[in-house]
């Protein structure tokens, strides 16, 4: 009963936030997040998100398509990454290809989400319409999805990811003027904290998915505010 009540509470908040914003976000033209390096990184991040999802779904054709899509942009990405980030990305991509050849889709997903993190952390915050914390919350949600698909479950790693997400929200919250959206994010983060501390996989899966849904709403909030 308690778990069901938490589920319903989180869902109600997310639905409320979505009702307030979905029409406005859909109508808004999405401004580019700066130009030059930032746009290169954000464009290249999309195939890595897709790769994570396809790997978790054991969709081999989708994985190969996503890898090709990233490969088409890899040269441009390497030109804007720092030397350290470029080395880390090369290592992660090598692991992804090795795992894909072995059929180890869990490793593909884990390394893909870390490659996404490298791109996000390489963004220049000054030139962004959507604050960098939003993209990093996106990473947190995907990282949790990957960890929750693993066997055995690594609860300490999940707890660390949730703690990092809480720190990101602490920095971002003052910039979010809509109370319903703020309340929804806080409720989901509280749910994630409760789920990981209690090692409740069902609740953690639900809250991680809500985190990703709220990232979309946060993106829409800042995109609309830029007009």
Chunked into runs of 10 residues, the chain (227 residues) has average pLDDT values of: 51 51 43 71 96 96 96 96 97 97 96 97 92 95 95 96 96 95 94 95 92 93 90
Asked if the domains 1-31+130-227 and 33-128 are classified in one and the same CATH topology, the answer is yes
Kindly give, in sequence order, each residue whose CB lies less than 8 Å from that of residue 193, ignoring residues fewer than 6 positions away: 162, 166
pLDDT at res. 33: 54
Backbone φ and ψ of 170, nearest 5°? -60, -40
pTM comes to 0.86
The tokens describing 151, both together, are: 């066997």
**Residue 105 burial by CB count (10 A; 0-12/13-18/19+): exposed, middle or buried?**
buried
User: For the chain, what percentages of helix, strand and coil (3-state, to nearest 5) are there?
Assistant: 85, 0, 15
The domain at 1-31+130-227 falls in which architecture? Up-down Bundle (1.20)
CATH architecture for residues 33-128: Up-down Bundle (1.20)
The CA R_g of the chain, rounded to the nearest whole Å, is: 18
Q: How many CB atoms lie within 10 A of CB 12?
A: 12
Q: Which residue ranges make up each domain of the chain?
A: 1-31+130-227, 33-128
In this predicted structure, what is the pLDDT of residue 226? 85
For 155, list phi and psi in degrees, rounded to 5.
-65, -40
């Amino acid at each position: 009963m308690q778990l069901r009540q938490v589920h319903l509470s989180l869902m109600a908040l997310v639905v409320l936030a979505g009702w307030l914003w979905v029409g406005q976000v859909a109508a808004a033209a999405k401004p580019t997040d700066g130009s030059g390096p930032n746009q290169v990184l954000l464009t290249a991040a999309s195939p890595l998100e897709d790769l994570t999802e396809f790997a978790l779904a054991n969709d081999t054709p989708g994985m190969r398509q996503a890898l090709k899509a990233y490969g088409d942009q890899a040269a441009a990405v390497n030109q804007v990454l720092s030397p350290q980030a470029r080395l880390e990305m090369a290592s992660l991509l090598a692991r992804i290809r090795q795992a894909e050849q072995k059929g180890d889709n869990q490793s593909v997903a884990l390394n893909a989400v870390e490659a996404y993190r490298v791109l996000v952390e390489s963004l220049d915050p000054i030139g962004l319409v959507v604050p960098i914390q939003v993209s990093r919350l996106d990473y947190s949600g995907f990282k949790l999805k990957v960890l929750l698909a693993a066997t055995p479950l690594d609860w300490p790693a999940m707890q660390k990811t949730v703690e990092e997400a809480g720190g990101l929200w602490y920095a971002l919250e003052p910039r979010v003027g809509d109370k319903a959206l703020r309340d929804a994010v806080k409720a989901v983060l509280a749910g994630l904290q409760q789920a990981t501390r209690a090692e409740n996989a069902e609740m953690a899966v639900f809250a991680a998915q809500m985190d990703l849904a709220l990232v979309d709403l946060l993106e829409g909030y800042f995109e609309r505010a830029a007009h």
